[in-house]
Amino acid sequence: MTDKPSSAYPVSWYQFTEHPESDSCWSLSVGPDGRIYAAACAEGSPGKSVKLVRYNEKTDALDYLFPLDQMVDDPADSGRATQCKIHYSFVPSMHDGVLYMATHLSGPPIDLPAYSPWGMWHDKERCFRGSALLAFDTRTDQVLWWDTMIPKEGCRCLLHDEERGLLYSLSYPRDHFFIYDIAKRKFRDVGRIGSVNAQALFLDRRHRVLTSNDDGRIVRYDPDKDRLETSPYILPHDPTYQTGWHSVLYDVAPSPDGECVYASTWIANPRLMRIWPNEGEWGRVEDLGPTTQPRDLTLPLSTFVDHCGGLVFGGDGYLYYCASRWKEGQTDESPRDLGKGSINMWGIVHRLNPATLEREEVFELKRPGQAAQYVSRAAIDHNGDLFFAHVGPRPVGIFRVAMPADRKKPNAHLPIRMWG
Amino acid sequence: MKSVKKPLDWHDPEVRALHDKIVHGSFINEGMMVAFPMCFPGVTVPIIADESRITALDATREGVIYGGTSGKRVHLFVGMFRADMGAVHDMGVVDGAEQCVAASCGPAGFAAFVNGPGGARIVIRELQRMPFSLIQEWGFTRKPFRYSAVPAGGERIIHAATDPSGRRAFATTLKHLLAVEIETGAVEVVGELRGMGRLAVDARGAVLGFDEGDTLWRFDPAAKKLDRRAIALPDGDWAHAPKVWARRRGPGLLYTADGKGDIFALDEEGRFSGPLCRATLTPVGPMAVTHDGRVFGFCGDEISRMFCYDPDAGKVTDIGAAVSVIQRRRYGYVFGDAVVGRDGEIVFGEDDDSGHLWLYFPRIVEKTAKPARP
C-alpha cells in the first residue's frame, strides 16, 4: 500500500533533441561531481556517434558536451563500425573528479545498413577499431586522455576499483574479461566467459569482481588467484520453463551500507534478487521473485517489452527500479519502433523496502506520446533526485523524478556506485 | 584518421538484402555445427573453464573421440556420441601438466602427450569401455593413468601422431624423435632432430615432420631410418607456416598450408602439388579431410572462420564463423585440433575457456537424378 500518490513524484522528460538519431540511452550515471551524465547512443543509424550529455540543474535542461568519435580520433564517417554508444560504462574516480567512459560497438559503418563484428572481424576497413576509454575531468570539463581499452571489441560494462587503480570490463562479442591498469595505461585479457554478455560487474569487499555467465552462474575474478571462477549455483530464474540460460546479471545496485547488492536479470520475467557477496565461499543469494507480469509462455515476447532495469537507491534508503508492464497481446518484432504511436506498454517504478522486502508501485515514467517501458539504468544525483535512462523511438532521452522532500537528502549519491 | 565513406542510400532496394546478408551471413552458411559441453549433460559438471581448452584430439576406428585439454590443468577425456551415448567423460586430471599437445588412440589403449613445469610425460590408459546406456542408467569409474617418462629429463614434447596400425605413436620433442608403444607406454628414442610443428603419418606409415631449410624429414618405422631433409617443400611462405596437417583415412593425400594460407598436397611418393587454393584467412589452423575428400578447417585469429577446400571443384569456400544453436547456444572462436568421426563428420576441439567439442556435419551435395530406365 503506497503512502504517497504518484503525483508526489513529478516526472520530467528530457529528449535528446540535439541528437535526432539517438535510439538508446544505455549509460546513465552520477558523476564524481554529483551531476547526472547520460549517453545519447545511436546504434541503429549508419555513421553516427554517441554524444555525452549532462543534466544542468541550473537551466533544467541537457548540456551536450561532445560527440565521442571526435574525442577519440575515430570519426563516425570513417567507413568503420562507429563509436556509437557507451554501454553501462560510466565509472567515477572520486579522488580526482574524473568520469571514465568506454565506448561500445554495433553502429553500422556510414555506407552499410548493418555491422557484424563476427563477419567483419578480419576486415581492416570495416572492423570496429576498439572500445575507446576516455578520461573526462568533471572539474574542468576537459578530456584528459583516451586510449583503446579493448581492441576490435566493444565494452559491454565497466567497473572501477579505485583503491587499486584498475578498470574491469566485459568485451563484446567475445565475452572476454579485461583488466585495464590506469597508471600504466595497459590492458590485459584474462579470458573468455561465454557467449551472452552479462550487463553488469560488481565488486565485493575483498576486491573480487563478480559477474555472470551464459548459464546464469556467478563468475568471479579473484585478484589474489588471478583467475575466473564459477559459482556452483545458478541465479534465480523461473524453473517452470527456464534453465538459467541467459539469466545473466542485467543491472546491479549496491546497498548504501555496502553489504549487499540488488540485481535484476536479463531474461523474460526478469528476476529481482539480493546478493550478499561477502558471506561464505560463494555469497548468499535471495530470490526476490519476478518483476514483470505473467505472460503467454508459448510466445517469446520481445526482450524490449518484458524488462526490468534502472535499479537505484533513493535518499530514503529504499530501492527503486523500473519494471515494464504491457497490454495483454502486445507483440512486436521491431524493438526500435516499440511504443511508437500507441501506448500499450508502460515503465512502472517500484519502491522496495530493504528491511521488509515489501514493494509498491510508486509512479509511471511518462514519455509524451510514446511508451516508455524500457529503462536501462537509473542514478541519483547529489540533490537526491532520481534519473532514468530510456531506450525507445528516436530521439530518446532521460527522465528526471523530483523526489518528495522526505525521500531525498543532500549528497544522496554517496557512497557512489563504482560500476556502470 | 580521415573520413573516407559517403552516407548510405536507404532508398536503394538492395539495402535490406545487404542488411540480412551482413547480419546472418557471418556464421556457418552450410552444414551444421553442434557444440557439445565437456560433461555428461545433466549428470556431471563441465570441466572447469580455464582447464578446458581443447588442444589434442584423436578418434578410434569406431569413432569414439579421445583428447586432452590445456590451461591451468590438463584433463584427458573421451567423447561418446554414438547410439544412446551423448556424453564427454572426464577421465581425470594429469597432475602437474598444463598442456596436452597430442592424443593417440590405439585398438585398446590411449596415449596423451603432455607438458608441464616439471617436464613432459606420456600418459597411458586403456580405452574407455562404452557404457550400457546414457539415457537409462550408467556407471563410470576413473581408471588410473600410467606415466612414461620422456627422455632427456622430460624434454618438452612438440607433437605426436599415430601410425596406421594404431599400435605406436611417434612424438617429437625439442631435440628428439620418439616411438611410443600405446598399449605399454614403452618409449624409444629413434632419432635426433628439432621438433617443429605438427607431425603427419602417411598412408604407408612413414612419419613426416618439418625440417630445417624448408624441407620435411621422413622416418621409416619399419627400417627405423630417419632421413633428414628428405622432401623439399614447394615454393611458399614456410617461415610463417602454421605447420599443420590433414590426412584422409586410408590411402590419400596429406594437406598442409604455408604462411600465406596456400594449401598444398603431398602424395605417398613424396611429391607435392599446389598451391591448390588459398584459405580465406591466415593463419590456417586445425583441418581434417572427410570421407569424400573435402578438407575442412579453420583459419584466422581470434574469431576464426571455417573454410572448405573441395579438390573435385578445385576451389576453396568460406563457410563462416562457428555457431551452435542445437541445444547449446554458443559462438566458437578458436580451435586447437580436428579429427574425423565415423561417418565423416568433423570434430573440432575448441581451444578456449569453457571449450566444447564441436561436431560439424558437412552439407551433403545433392545428386543429380538419373533418368528412369526405359
Chain B residues with CB under 8 Å of a chain A CB are 1-8, 10, 15-16, 18-19, 22-23, 25-27, 48-50, 72, 281, 300, 302-303, 305, 320-321, 329-331, 333, 352-354
Of all residues in chain A, the one with the smallest CA distance to B282 is: A122
Q: Which long-range contacts (CB under 8 A, 24 or more apart) does A356-363 make?
A: A357/A288, A360/A1, A360/A2, A361/A2, A362/A2, A362/A4, A362/A6, A362/A9, A362/A320, A363/A6, A363/A9, A363/A11, A363/A401
At A2 the pLDDT is: 63
At A97 the pLDDT is: 98
Q: Per-residue pLDDT averaged across B91-96, rounded?
A: 97
Whether residue B14 is contained in a domain is answered as: no
Whether residue B145 is contained in a domain is answered as: yes
Model confidence at B74: pLDDT above 90: yes
Residue B152 CB neighbours (<10 A): 14
What average pLDDT does chain B have?
94
**Is A78's CB within 8 Å of B1's CB?**
yes
Give the CA angle between residues B311, B317, B322 to the nearest 5°. 125
Please tell me the distance from the alpha carbon of residue B118 to that of residue B99, in angstroms, as a whole number. 12
At A324 the pLDDT is: 97
Whether residue B12 is contained in a domain is answered as: no
A195: nearest CB among B49, B320, B331: B331
Whether residue B3 is contained in a domain is answered as: no
Kindly indicate the confidence band of residue B8, based on its pLDDT and cuts at 50, 70 and 90.
Answer: confident
Q: Indicate the domain borders of chain A.
A: 6-407
CATH number at residue B84: 2.130.10.10
How many structural domains compose chain B? Answer: 1
Whether residue B124 is contained in a domain is answered as: yes
The β-bridge partners of A308 are A323
pLDDT over 90 for what percent of chain B? Answer: 89
Q: SS3 breakdown of chain A: % helix, strand, coil, rounded to 5?
A: 5, 45, 55
For domain A6-407, give the CATH superfamily. YVTN repeat-like/Quinoprotein amine dehydrogenase (2.130.10.10)
**Is A113's CB within 8 Å of B15's CB?**
yes
Of residues B87, B156, B89, B85, the one with CA closest to residue B119: B156
Q: Provide ipTM, 2 decimals.
A: 0.95
Kindly indicate the confidence band of residue A336, based on its pLDDT and cuts at 50, 70 and 90.
Answer: low
Grid cell, residue A157, equals 560494462
Q: Per-residue pLDDT averaged across A189-215, rounded?
A: 98
At B367 the pLDDT is: 82
For residue B78, give every residue at least 6 positions away whose Cβ sits within 8 Å of its Cβ, in sequence order, or none: B64, B65, B66, B88, B89, B91, B110, B127, B128
Model confidence at B1: pLDDT above 70: no
pLDDT, tens only, A26-48: 999 999 999 999 999 999 999 99
For residue B299, give every residue at least 6 positions away whose Cβ sits within 8 Å of its Cβ, in sequence order, or none: B261, B279, B280, B281, B282, B283, B284, B285, B305, B307
For residue A356, give every residue at least 6 positions away whose Cβ sits within 8 Å of its Cβ, in sequence order, or none: none
Kindly indicate the confidence band of residue A341, based on its pLDDT and cuts at 50, 70 and 90.
Answer: low
- Residues of B within 8 A of A213 (CB-CB) are 354
Please tell me the distance from the alpha carbon of residue B95 to that of residue B55, in angstroms, as a whole number. 17
To the nearest 10°, report the CA torsion of B156, B254, B235, B218: 50
What is the number of H-type helices and E-type strands within chain B?
A: 2, 29
Please tell me the distance from the alpha carbon of residue A56 to that of residue A65, in angstroms, as a whole number. 11
Please tell me the distance from the alpha carbon of residue A16 to that of residue A33, in angstroms, as a whole number. 22
**Is A47's CB within 8 Å of B10's CB?**
no
Grid cell, residue A69, equals 568519435
> Residue B160: enclosing H or E segment and its boundaries?
strand B157-162
Going from the C-alpha of B263 to that of each of A26, A71, B92, B362, the distances in angstroms are 46, 44, 37, 20
Domain extent, residue B337, equals 29-361
Q: Per-residue pLDDT averaged across A110-131, rounded?
A: 97
- Residues of B within 8 A of A114 (CB-CB) are 18-19, 22-23
Grid cell, residue A281, equals 565461499
Phi, psi values for residue A377, rounded to 5°: -140, 160
Please tell me the distance from the alpha carbon of residue A387 to that of residue A406, in angstroms, as a whole number. 17
**Is B330's CB within 8 Å of A194's CB?**
yes
What average pLDDT does chain A have?
96
Tell me the one-letter amino acid at B359: L
B354: nearest CB among A73, A121, A194: A194
Q: Which residue has the cell 535484476?
A: A264
Least Cα separation, residue A234 to chain B (angstroms) = 13
At A371 the pLDDT is: 92
Of all residues in chain B, the one with the smallest CA distance to A69 is: B1
Please tell me the distance from the alpha carbon of residue B210 to that of residue B199, in angstroms, as a whole number. 8
- Residues of A within 8 A of B1 (CB-CB) are 73-75, 78
Give the CA angle between residues A354, A359, A360 to the nearest 5°. 140
Grid cell, residue B344, equals 565423416
Model confidence at B359: pLDDT above 90: yes
User: Is the pTM above the cut of 0.90?
Assistant: yes
Tell me the one-letter amino acid at B52: S
**Is A228's CB within 8 Å of B48's CB?**
no
pLDDT, tens only, B21-47: 999 999 999 999 999 999 999 999 999
Please tell me the distance from the alpha carbon of residue B112 to that of residue B182, in angstroms, as a whole number. 9
For A335, the 3-state DSSP assignment is: helix
Residue B162 CB neighbours (<10 A): 23
Best A121, A148, A150 member to test B by mutation, with max B CBs in 10 Å, is A121
At B12 the pLDDT is: 79
